[in-house]
């Protein structure tokens, strides 16, 4: 008689946000894995995001078009997969927050994190009221993201 052992409750190996991003994040423009060789200045803020014991606020100030959105997406993806918890991301204006949510975050959550709730190809999701709210996301039961 053959016995099969399936450990359903085994946790996935822990990875810091920067490790996870380098192994799983396909960059949209280059179609290759993220590398901090081009943006070394974003590795430390991304790593700090995973330091749950001592970090409660991270402020990143840098010029436009340098990869901030990618770093924010990577941290949100890491939270959704490894540490689902309530998270607040603050932008300078409501318009910027909505723009980031519609054009970058929703496709990222759908395509990279594979969260079905953000799959906009189904008619049910297009009719869903939560789908239209671009400032609030449910990452997991009891874990929300607010922009």
Contact partners, residue 5, CB within 8 Å, separation at least 6: none
Q: SS3 helix, strand, coil % of the chain, rounded to 5?
A: 45, 10, 50
Q: Which residue would you say has higher pLDDT here, 115 or 59? A: 59
Residue-level pLDDT at 82: 80
- Given a cut of 50, whether residue 129 has pLDDT beyond it is no
Query: 23 or 11, which is more confident?
Result: 23
Confidence category of residue 122, pLDDT binned at 50, 70, 90: low
Return d(Cα 147, Cα 141) in angstroms, integer.
18
Q: For residue 123, is pLDDT > 80? A: no
pLDDT score of 54 more than 70: yes
Sheet holding 136-140, edge to edge: 87-88, 143-146, 136-140
Half-sphere exposure of 18 (CA within 13 A, CB side): 15
* Predicted confidence (pLDDT) at residue 11 exceeds the cutoff of 80: no
E strands in the chain: 87-88, 136-140, 143-146
Maximum Cα interatomic distance, the chain, rounded to a whole number of Å: 64
């Amino acid at each position: 008689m053959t016995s099969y052992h399936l450990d359903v409750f085994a946790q996935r190996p822990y990875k810091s946000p920067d490790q996870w991003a380098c192994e799983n994040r396909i960059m949209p423009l280059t179609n290759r894995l993220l590398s901090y060789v081009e943006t070394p200045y974003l590795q430390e803020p991304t790593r700090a995001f995973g330091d749950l014991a001592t970090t409660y606020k991270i402020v990143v100030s840098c010029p436009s078009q340098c990869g901030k959105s990618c770093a924010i997406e990577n941290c949100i993806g890491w939270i959704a997969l490894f540490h689902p918890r309530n998270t607040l991301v603050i932008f300078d204006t409501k318009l910027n927050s909505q723009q980031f949510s519609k054009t970058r975050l929703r496709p990222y959550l759908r395509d990279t994190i594979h969260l079905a709730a953000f799959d906009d190809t189904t008619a049910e999701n297009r009719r869903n009221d939560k789908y239209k709210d671009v400032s609030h996301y449910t990452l997991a039961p009891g874990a929300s993201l607010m922009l």
